[in-house]
Amino acid sequence: MSGDKVWLVTGASRGIGLAIAERVHAAGDRVAILARGDDVSGIAARLGDRCMACRADVSQRDQVDAAVAQVVSRWGRIDILVNNAGAHRGGKIEKLAPGDWQTVIDTNLTGALNVITAASPCLGDGGAVVNIGAVVGFRGFPGDAAYAASKAGIAGLTRALAIELAPRGITVNLVIPGLVLTEMTGALSQKALDSMRRKIPLGRFGEPDEIAEVVEFTARARYMTGAFVPADGGLMSSFGVLG
């Protein structure tokens, strides 16, 4: 049921994360938007009383703990956690800087674990965790070793935690967006974008709102856990991924 849930959405200052926050807020739920930048305060002010801003870097456990405590202090609980915060650093393996590898793993994988670990004591029966994956976590793409490894790790984390948290009535699922034009994909050349679009059976890129729709459905579904839910225009089917 919408209108009575408390959401914590990471990486919610732009793109998919912001679309998720705006969608569930419009449904009447309360939402805490967590991101590193100052812009979260302006977003929360725009959305109003049922939205709060939490400034934190998910790779820093102390900051995550403080943000979760802030949400619980205001609203008493967390019902739904969406791990959307992400970093991307490209480069073929011989050119991939160790620092770039570590940034991606620390943000995308360790960051998700930090937030789940901090928030899970606040999740009760009927709680949900939705992790945001990526097609590249299942299908190799040259020059994307760090991002692919982090997203493959999120897939494994999802299935392990789905089993671990099931006795508490908490679902854990993975939503897998296809190519969505956001700030993170802004560095891609037009040639690369055209090439990628031709591989998508629906013939177009996704919109943040379309991913948010799938995330909301997945979070509210009560008899689905450990599932991988593509929202990719058919891209994974065209590659024969996930069987």
User: Is 147 known to be catalytic?
Assistant: yes
Which residues on neighbouring strands pair with residue 32, listed in sequence order? 8, 52
Distance from the Cα of residue 240 to its chain's centroid: 23
pLDDT for 227: 98
Per-residue pLDDT tens digits for 69-109? 999 999 999 999 999 999 999 888 899 999 999 999 999 99
Q: Check whether 186 has a pLDDT greater than 80.
A: no
User: Does 13 score more than 70 pLDDT?
Assistant: yes
Dist CA 48 CA 176 (whole Å)? 30
Query: Which pTM was predicted?
Result: 0.93
115 pLDDT higher than 60? yes
Cα-based distances in Å from 137 to 17, 51, 133, 228: 19, 32, 7, 12
- Average pLDDT across the chain, whole number: 93
Under CATH, what is the fold of the domain 6-231? Rossmann fold (3.40.50)
Residue 143 is predicted with a pLDDT of 84
pLDDT value of position 1 = 46
Give the residue-averaged pLDDT of 131-149. Answer: 91
How confident is the model over 197-232, as pLDDT tens digits? 888 999 999 999 999 999 999 999 999 999 999 999
Residue in 7, 101, 138, 147 annotated catalytic: 147
- Give the model confidence (pLDDT) of 38-61 as tens digits: 899 999 999 999 999 999 999 999
Mean pLDDT confidence for 124-147:
92
